[in-house]
Amino acid sequence: MGLKLGLHESGNKPGPRLPGRAGRTRLRRMNRYLWLTLPLILSSCTAAMTPQTAVMPRAEMPKSDVPPPPETARTVAEYDTTSSEQRAKAKAGGGGATSLGRTIASLGSPSVPGIWMKTPLVSSIQQGAVLYPQTGERVRLELRPAGTEAGAGSQLSLAAMRLLGAPLTGLPEVEVFAD
């Protein structure tokens, strides 16, 4: 049973072509071009798949009395370097008398230590509080300007998300208060 050139056995559908001399030459040429362009194509794929995340250099990070996580940190507990005293102080009531509004928050960089929130609701570093209505938890923290437009969303530190009882992979809506 051999392959026929041209039309299919029924006579109206194109059928597979035998790789004759011209077909083999065309296949070799296509194969050569494929191998020449494949690295270029794959390099553009990896460039598009590489996440473009802005990491704040350590020199630009606000001063914190919380030590940074170790370079070998892999778990949530290893990244959260706040002490039990710092967590208790953050959970203590009070603070945040003036409501700044509500915002959607995501998890900020786990490598930045402390209990903080980067938000467009403030223009300078100040103390405040965040209320997560889902759990009723309120946490005192440092409010840091995000440098983005109002409504762009906020970022909460790993420690703050844990204290609020918010899902680390979620986008909780929180109410922000300033002292």
pLDDT per residue as tens, the chain (179 positions): 555 455 555 555 555 555 566 666 776 777 676 666 767 676 666 555 545 444 444 434 556 677 788 888 888 888 888 888 888 888 887 666 899 999 999 999 998 999 999 999 999 999 999 999 999 999 999 999 998 887 889 999 999 999 999 999 999 999 999 98
- 144 forms beta bridges with 118
Q: Is the pTM of this model over 0.85?
A: no
- Does residue 118 contact residue 128 with C-beta atoms inside 8 Å? no
CA distance 96 to 139: 10
CA distance 65 to 81: 10
Q: Of 85, 137, 144, whose CA–CA distance to 120 is shortest?
A: 144
Q: Residue type at 14?
A: P
Q: What is the pLDDT of residue 49?
A: 54
Is 79-178 a domain of CATH 2.102.10.10? Answer: no
Q: Residue type at 47?
A: A
Q: What is the pLDDT of residue 141?
A: 93
CA distance 39 to 81: 43
CA distance 157 to 106: 9
Q: Would you state the structure tokens that stand for residue 8, as one six-digit string?
A: 């299919």
Q: Residue type at 77?
A: A
Domain boundaries, the chain: 17-48, 79-178
Residue carrying structure tokens 């949530």: 76
Is residue 162 classed as helix, strand or coil in its secondary structure?
A: helix
CA distance 123 to 59: 20
Other Cβ atoms within 10 Å of 64 Cβ, number: 16
Please enumerate in sequence order all residues whose Cβ is within 8 A of that of 118, keeping only pairs 6 or more positions apart, or say none.
108, 144, 145, 146, 154, 155
